[in-house]
Structure 1
Amino acid sequence: MTEQEFVTKTKSLIDGLKSVCANYGLGNDASEFNIITQVFLYKYLNDKFIYEAKKADPKLAKAENFQKAYETLSESEQKFLLGRIGTKAAKMKPEQMISYIYNKNGAENFAAIHFDGTLRSLNADNEHLYAVKSEGGGKEKMFDDLSQYIRDVSQRDTFCKALLNKIVDVSFEKMFSEKYDFFSTIFEYLIKDYNSDSGGKYAEYYTPHAVARIMAAILVTEKDNGVKVYDPSAGSGTLLMNIAHAIGEKNCSIYSEDVSQKSANMLRLNLIINNLSHSIPNIIKGNTILSSSYLTEKFDYIVSNPPFKLDFSDYQTKLLSDTYKTRFFAGVPKIPAKDKDKMAIYLLFIQHIMYSLSDKGKAAIVVPTGFITAQSGIEKKIREALIERGWLRGVVSMPSNIFASTGTNVSILFFDKSADNEHIVLVDASKLGEIVKEGKNQRTVLTKKEEQKIISAMNDKMAIEDFSIVVKTEEIKAKNYSFSAGQYFEVKIEYIDISPKEFAEKMNGFENRLTSLFRQGNELDVEIQNQLKKLKYE
Structure 2
Amino acid sequence: MAATHVTQAQQQAELQKRLWAIANDLRGNMDASEFRNYILGLIFYRFLSDRVSEVAESLLANDDVSFAEAYKDPDFKNDLRAEIIQELGYFLQPDSLFSTMVQNIQVGEFDIEQLQSAINEIQDSTLGQTSEQDFRGLFEDLDLSSSRLGNTVAQRSDLIAKVILNLSDISFKEKDIKIDVLGDAYEYLIGQFAATAGKKAGEFYTPQQVSKLLARLVTLTNKELKAVYDPAMGSGSLLLRLGDYAKIGKYYGQEINGTTYNLARMNLLMHGVNYTRFELFQGDTLEDDKVGNMQFDAVVANPPYSAKWNPDGKLDDERFREYGKTAPKSKADFAFVEHMLYHLNDQGTMAVVLPHGVLFRGAAEGTIRQHIIEKKNALDAVIGLPANLFYGTSIPTAVLVFKKNRTTNDILFIDASNDFEKAKNQNSLTDANVDKIVAAYQERKGVDKYAHVASRKEIEENDYNLNIPRYVDTFEPEEPIDLDAVFKELAEVDEQIDKSWAEFNEMRKQLVWTDQADKGDSNDK
Partner of 1:92: helix, strand, or coil?
coil
1:379 maps to which of 335, 347, 365: 365
1:261-288 deviations in whole A, cap 9, x for unaligned? 1111111121012222335761111111
Partner of 1:254: 251
Partner of 2:15: 10
- Deviation, structure 1 residue 243: 1.1
The one-letter code matched in structure 1 to 2:241 is N
- Deviation, structure 1 residue 78: 6.8
Q: Note closer, same or farther for the CA distance 1:20–1:370 as it changes in structure 2 (3 Å cut).
A: same
Partner of 1:445: helix, strand, or coil?
coil
The one-letter code matched in structure 2 to 1:284 is F
Residues 1:448 and 2:449 are matched in the alignment: no
Contact 1:195/1:204 (CA < 8 Å) preserved in 2? Answer: no
Partner of 1:93: 93
Residues 1:400 and 2:387 are matched in the alignment: yes
Contact 1:234/1:240 (CA < 8 Å) preserved in 2? Answer: yes
Partner of 1:410: 397
Partner of 2:503: none
The sequence identity of aligned pairs, in percent, is 19
Contact 2:211/2:241 (CA < 8 Å) preserved in 1? Answer: yes
- Deviation, structure 1 residue 455: 0.2
The one-letter code matched in structure 2 to 1:205 is F
Q: Note closer, same or farther for the CA distance 1:43–1:378 as it changes in structure 2 (3 Å cut).
A: same
Partner of 1:355: 342
Query: For residues 290 and 196 of structure 1, what CA distance do their matches in structure 2 show?
Result: 30
Query: For residues 143 and 404 of structure 2, what CA distance do their matches in structure 1 show?
Result: 48
Query: For residues 465 and 121 of structure 1, what CA distance do their matches in structure 2 show?
Result: 61
The one-letter code matched in structure 1 to 2:26 is C
2:281 maps to which of 280, 284, 293: 284
Residues 1:268 and 2:261 are matched in the alignment: no
Partner of 1:519: none
1:32 maps to which of 31, 35, 58: 35
Q: Note closer, same or farther for the CA distance 1:333–1:407 as it changes in structure 2 (3 Å cut).
A: same
The one-letter code matched in structure 2 to 1:326 is F
Mapping 1:192-341, distance limit 5 Å: 192-194=192-194, 199=199, 204-225=203-224, 227-248=226-247, 251-278=248-275, 282-312=279-309, 316=310, 318-319=312-313, 322-323=316-317, 326=320, 329=323, 331-334=325-328
- Deviation, structure 1 residue 296: 2.2
Contact 1:231/1:255 (CA < 8 Å) preserved in 2? Answer: yes
Partner of 1:111: 112
Query: For residues 281 and 211 of structure 1, what CA distance do their matches in structure 2 show?
Result: 22
Partner of 1:427: helix, strand, or coil?
strand
Partner of 1:520: none
Query: For residues 369 and 456 of structure 2, what CA distance do their matches in structure 1 show?
Result: 11
Contact 2:450/2:474 (CA < 8 Å) preserved in 1? Answer: no
1:273-312 deviations in whole A, cap 9, x for unaligned? 2222335761111111111212322222110101113344
Partner of 2:293: helix, strand, or coil?
coil
The one-letter code matched in structure 2 to 1:358 is N
The one-letter code matched in structure 1 to 2:168 is V
- Deviation, structure 1 residue 183: 3.4
Query: For residues 419 and 395 of structure 1, what CA distance do their matches in structure 2 show?
Result: 15
1:45 maps to which of 48, 51, 63: 48
- Deviation, structure 1 residue 8: 2.6
Query: For residues 305 and 479 of structure 2, what CA distance do their matches in structure 1 show?
Result: 47
1:58 maps to which of 58, 61, 64: 61
Partner of 2:463: 480
TM-score (norm 1): 0.77
Q: Any gaps of 5 or more consecutive residues in structure 1?
A: 336-342, 517-538
Partner of 1:434: 421
Contact 2:380/2:401 (CA < 8 Å) preserved in 1? Answer: yes
Partner of 1:3: helix, strand, or coil?
helix
